[in-house]
Structure 1
Amino acid sequence: MWQRACDTAAKCIAEAKEYNKQRWDKSHMEPAFKEGDQVLVSTLNFNNLKGPKKMSDSFSGPFTIIKLIERGGKIPPRKKIPTPPEIVEVEDSSGLVNKIIKARKIILKGKDQRQYLVRFKNQTADKDQCLSEDSIPDGNLHLRRFRASRRTEQSHQL
């Protein structure tokens, strides 16, 4: 009983599909354009026409078909994709200090010790590290700049 109902439903669906296809094909024919034919072009999607849209012509032309591209009228891309540039090896400057951002004092093994938040060259803020004075490359130079910038900030606040 169930199988017979399923078969009947499948048969009805197939007949409906065939009927709908025939109706569609009757009213929708693909135009048979050939090279040299004269055609009109719809101006519906043109946005560069002057004046009010309802006063402009619905079609423009006639134009002569020079060459048929393909079904659907898609034009192949004209620009060639440029080849990517060669990869140039750049020396790794991630170990070089760009600047010292902040200072903090911590207690290590019972002694006060200063640590500095260091930003490295060609690195983002999430790669910043807290380092002691001894472990900063060219520490004296960067610490001198950091302390001088803090003095100027404090003098501007007064």
Structure 2
Amino acid sequence: MYLTDRTLINTILHECHDSVAAGHLSKDRTLERVKTCSWWPNWKKDVAEYCQTCDRCQKSNRSTGKKFGIMIQIQEPKSPWEIVHMDWVTALPPGGDKS
């Protein structure tokens, strides 16, 4: 089915991605579902954008940020003050009268 009505396109996207039957599928699986029932100009771009802006998917999918490093064992000091470690806290707001 060739679509031009934006409201109908949004309904198709909803039904193919976040309806109870769809269950918030990935972008690729949503593309497959849309492809079986309809077509419109730039439909692949619209599906990708719809999936990327889905609040529920963004909150529940694993993080795509920087991975944590591997923990390593630190050397045990042989005497006091041999190893000193400091944590720096920066960019704190001014304390005002209560600092």
TM beyond 0.5: no
TM-score by length of 1: 0.19
Higher helix share: 2
State the structure with more CA Rg: 1
TM-score (normalised: structure 2): 0.26
Which structure has more strand as a fraction of its residues? 1
Q: Select the structure with the greater relative contact order (CA < 8 A; seq sep ≥ 6).
A: 2
